């Protein structure tokens, strides 16, 4: 049985990628949630994850004695061990293209990731409007997404980036969540793709779990006040 170590579903964009890939592809796995409390050395999170991750980060995929701790490496391992699931596009050219885009996401889009942290339960349109006004890097990152996704949807005909669901869609799923949370301006056809990703059963399952967490972490939300006490 595969075992996937993840962080809080509301916040952990890197955890979301392999979890959605596994769930959407119908690959059985056991989820192990390691709650974020702090990312400082000596925190409970760091102590817990150190037993399985040499980097002290999530996600980590465990398969028997093997541990894989990078999202791209996890995706490649799953594609190799579950070839019947066709996780990458079948065409070699499209497959190379998909790998290139995932690598770009892995190392790029720093302005969008830094200014718009993933927060699934929040609706931060006002914050997003200020970010859009003031952060040229965010506008450039979103334009790159629009150009990239538009070309792929036109070339492959949708509904996903390479026609059928693939690793690329799982990889961009957290980006779709960011775009929705901060209500960043999108052309209608790109907004439709974001909606289709959110409606994938694997993504919807992650969203449902994230909404059920109700685990507010102020260090993950410096832009928002702590909710008022109830009762």
pLDDT for 23-56, tens place per residue? 999 999 999 999 887 677 888 888 888 889 998 8
Residue 220's pLDDT band (cuts 50, 70, 90): low
Planar angle of CA 163, 166, 172, nearest 5 degrees: 100
Can you tell me the distance from the alpha carbon of 219 to that of 18, in angstroms, rounded to the nearest whole number? 24
* Segment 13-21 mean pLDDT: 97
Can you tell me the distance from the alpha carbon of 125 to that of 105, in angstroms, rounded to the nearest whole number? 23
**What are the angstrom distances between the C-alpha of 101 and each of 17, 39, 70, 168, 172?**
14, 28, 16, 7, 9
SS3 230: coil
3-class secondary structure for 96-165?
HHHHHHHHHHHHCCHHHHHHCCCCCCCCCHHHHHHHHHHCHHHHHHHHHHHHHHHHHHHHHCCCECEEEC
At 224 the pLDDT is 59
* Segment 191-218 mean pLDDT: 93
Share of residues in the chain with pLDDT > 90 (%):
83
Give the residue, 175 or 54, on which the prediction is more confident.
Answer: 175
Q: Which of 98, 100, 69, 70 is nearest to 86 (CA)?
A: 98
Neighbours of 125 (CB within 10 A): 12
SS3 212: helix
In this model, does residue 117 exceed pLDDT 50?
A: yes
Share of residues in the chain with pLDDT > 70 (%):
94
Torsion sign over Cα 127, 115, 31, 90: positive
Match 């392999």 to its residue by tokens: 18
Terminal alpha carbon distance of the chain: 43
Can you tell me the distance from the alpha carbon of 70 to that of 53, in angstroms, rounded to the nearest whole number? 10
């Amino acid at each position: 049985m595969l075992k996937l170590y993840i962080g809080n579903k509301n916040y952990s964009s890197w955890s979301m990628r392999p979890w959605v890939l596994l769930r959407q592809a119908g690959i059985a796995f056991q989820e192990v949630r390691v709650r974020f409390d702090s990312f400082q050395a000596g925190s409970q999170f760091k102590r817990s994850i150190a037993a399985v991750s040499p980097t002290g980060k999530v996600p980590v995929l465990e398969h028997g004695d093997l541990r894989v701790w990078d999202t791209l490496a996890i995706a490649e391992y799953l594609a190799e061990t579950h070839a019947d699931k066709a996780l990458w596009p079948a065409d070699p050219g499209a497959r190379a293209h998909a790998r290139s885009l995932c690598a770009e996401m892995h190392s790029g889009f720093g302005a969008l990731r830094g200014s718009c942290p993933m927060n699934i339960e929040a609706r931060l349109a006002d914050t997003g409007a200020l970010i859009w006004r003031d952060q040229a890097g965010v506008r450039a990152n979103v334009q790159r997404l629009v150009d990239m996704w538009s070309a792929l949807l036109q070339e492959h005909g949708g509904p996903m980036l390479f026609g059928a669901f693939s690793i690329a869609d799982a990889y961009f799923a957290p980006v779709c969540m960011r775009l929705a949370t901060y209500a960043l301006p999108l052309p209608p056809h790109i907004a439709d793709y974001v909606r289709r990703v959110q409606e994938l059963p694997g993504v919807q399952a992650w969203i449902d779990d994230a909404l059920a967490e109700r685990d507010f972490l102020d260090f993950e939300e410096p832009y928002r006040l702590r909710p008022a006490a109830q009762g």
